[in-house]
Amino acid sequence: MSMRGDWVYLLGQIANTTHHLILIDYLKEEYGIESSLHLDLLHHNFCIIVNDNSTDKESQHAKGLIAFEYEKLMGGVGRLIDPYRQPEFFSKGYCSAQKYFGYYSCSSIPTASIYKEGIVSFLEDLAYQREDFVFFPQTASDSPTNTENSYTSC
């Protein structure tokens, strides 16, 4: 996925979070494997970003998304930070992530079209323009002329 502008951190975090929500649950459910390394890294990363003072909205949205991932996979994010008493863009990222990715698990793996729609709707909920989003590689079903997958606003 690409967007006009330099959005590497936010876009990378969307992919990380959405895949982690499914993969961590899958490994636990199917194989009884706890991903303690991933969870330790998530905890370490989150402790660092809690003290980061980046104020641009993409960084704040990404931090809110990471806080959501932390809460979903580890619980107790409130011991480190109150996601509702953070800057507006942080809180919006956190709440929007709950809304669009809160159901992700190995028992509820989204189809490719639902996954793409969830990401686009998440970004749109953060006040970005839908027209700025393009998934690569683009398939015939992603084509703007295909009415089956046309999008509606939230």
**Tell me: the pLDDT tens digits for 97-128?**
999 999 998 888 888 889 999 999 999 999 98
Q: Could you tell me the two tokens for 84?
A: 């509702």
Indicate the pTM of the whole model. Answer: 0.79
81 CB-near residues (< 8 Å, 6+ apart): 50, 67
pLDDT (average), residues 3-26? 81
Nearest to 106 by CA among 45, 3, 31, 9: 31
pLDDT at residue 80 is higher than 80: yes
- Residue spans of the domains in the chain: they are 2-136
Partners of residue 134 on adjacent β-strands: 2
Nearest to 64 by CA among 86, 39, 40: 86
Specify the higher pLDDT residue, 151 or 38: 38
